Amino acid sequence: MKLKLTILALCFTAIAHAQVDYLLIPDRVFDGKEIHENWVVGVKGNGISYAGPNKSIDADSTIELKGMTLMPGLIEGHSHILLHPYNETSWNDQVLKESVAERSARAVNHLKASLMAGVTTMRDLGSEGAGYADVGLKIAVQKGVIPGPRLIVAGKAIVATGSYGPKGFHEGVNVPLGAEEADGYDDLIRVTRDQIGNGADLIKVYADYRWGPEGTAQPTFTVAELKTIVEIAESSGREVVAHASSAEAMKRAIEAGIKTIEHGDGGTLEVFKLMAEKGVALCPTIAAGDAITQYSGWNKGVDPEPGRIRAKRRSFELALQAGVKIVFGGDVGVFPHGENVRELELMVEYGMPVELALISATSGNAETFRLDDLGQLKEGFLADIIAVEGDPLSSISNLRKVKLVMKDGKIYKNHP
Ligand SMILES: [Zn+2]
């Protein structure tokens, strides 16, 4: 009797000690840096315990992924989970007329759509008038209340007084703004600290905005003001990202020590070279401009490219030429959540080699955002893993065919 129990106990021990929980066997593995043929990946708990050449591994569950490529979950660099496409509802009307409850309900759907599209981490750059709803949503994902990517959130974001919208009202009308106004040394210190205290993982600042006399992008904060924000944020262990489209605002942001510049449409070769030299990354958000131009009447594929699109192509080429580090981030929310791959398709269409686009969306963004255990399929890294049909190197659009999504070792989608 005692012997039988011992054998039984040994059996249980053997089961509990299978080398891995999941053994994933695809056609090929993109490990976040390069493609490998005949590799497999083992997952134990929430981590990767093996990634390398195929060998015999004792697994609780083996998943064959025929014809597929296994790769790290995508890391989206610029989203707005509290916005939905402007051709459905204008930005003004979303900020002015939709309650935070409605916007949060929409965000729950947006988060699920993002995760199902293979995005396992997302930097959300501003709640656009929805206060700290992004902080609450991030916590809801962390607690497992709703499915979604890991979130790095900005909260309200900071704008200079008078610069941001919604605009166009009688001065006696008080409208809720899409971000928080602050100016000058004392005020910027207080607001930066307040946003940090309310759960912002980073500080987003608008270094310029379309408030020029003719509606052109013009700088907002002085270099001294930007430096104040950076000093306060960095002493709390947080980085600052800047919205900047004009060359002058980009220069000020670089000088102030900001880590990533969002949009950068008006960047010159000189500015991009400065970014490369100082290690400031560019998040070009090509897909947002592409979408907005179509919303305002451009029939893409039929009409010739409007000036705005041609200029964006040109500035992206200059950034590549200067060797600026490119962050994959499309400003998703302007266009539908879950369509994140659009940005990668446009990065490639505008001249970025496919392998560099793939690196940008995985290990590149992980490095830029200081996510030490994400973005690679490597022993010791967190098990944020996706499988896509075909080879993304032969066509980046294969990233639209996501068949398996695992985050933190848990499977959220498995449709081989
Ligand atoms: Zn944005």
Cβ–Cβ < 8 Å for 318, 275: no
Q: How far apart are CA 94 and CA 324, in angstroms?
A: 34
How many angstroms is it from 205 CA to the middle of ligand 1?
11
How many angstroms is it from 196 CA to the middle of ligand 1?
19
How many angstroms is it from 80 CA to the middle of ligand 1?
6
Q: What is the pLDDT of residues 15-37, one digit of tens each?
A: 456 899 999 999 999 999 999 99
pLDDT at 18: 86
User: In b/e form, how buried is each residue of 42-57, taking b as 16+ CB within 10 angstroms?
Assistant: bbbeeebbbbbeeeeb
Cβ–Cβ < 8 Å for 241, 222: no
How many angstroms is it from 125 CA to the middle of ligand 1?
6
DSSP string of 67-125? EEEEEEPEEEEEE-TT---TTTS-HHHHHHHS-HHHHHHHHHHHHHHHHHTTEEEEEE-
How many angstroms is it from 384 CA to the middle of ligand 1?
25
Average pLDDT by stretches of 10, the chain with 416 residues: 48 64 98 98 98 96 98 99 98 98 98 98 98 98 98 98 96 95 98 98 98 96 98 98 98 98 98 98 98 98 97 98 98 98 98 98 98 98 98 98 98 90
pLDDT at 415: 86
pLDDT at 16: 54
pLDDT at 416: 66
How many angstroms is it from 248 CA to the middle of ligand 1?
19
Q: What is the pLDDT of residues 69-98, one digit of tens each?
A: 999 999 999 999 999 999 999 999 999 999
Q: What is the pLDDT of residues 113-156, one digit of tens each?
A: 999 999 999 999 999 999 999 999 999 999 999 999 999 999 99
All structural domains of the chain, each given as residue ranges with its CATH number in brackets, are 2-72+376-414 (2.30.40.10), 74-368 (3.20.20.140)
pLDDT at 356: 98
How many angstroms is it from 127 CA to the middle of ligand 1?
9
Q: How far apart are CA 250 and CA 101, in angstroms?
A: 35
- pTM surpassing 0.85? yes
Backbone angles phi, psi at 193, to 5 degrees: -65, -40
How many angstroms is it from 329 CA to the middle of ligand 1?
9
How many angstroms is it from 6 CA to the middle of ligand 1?
61
* Four-point Cα dihedral 51, 118, 77, 384, nearest 10: -30
How many angstroms is it from 92 CA to the middle of ligand 1?
14
Cβ–Cβ < 8 Å for 375, 32: yes
How many angstroms is it from 288 CA to the middle of ligand 1?
8
Q: How far apart are CA 253 and CA 275, in angstroms?
A: 10
Does an H or E element contain 29, and which? Answer: strand 20-30
pLDDT at 151: 98
Cβ–Cβ < 8 Å for 209, 228: no
The two structure tokens encoding residue 376: 């690679």
How many angstroms is it from 202 CA to the middle of ligand 1?
14
How many angstroms is it from 100 CA to the middle of ligand 1?
18
Q: What is the pLDDT of residues 291-313, one digit of tens each?
A: 999 999 999 999 999 999 999 99
How many angstroms is it from 128 CA to the middle of ligand 1?
9
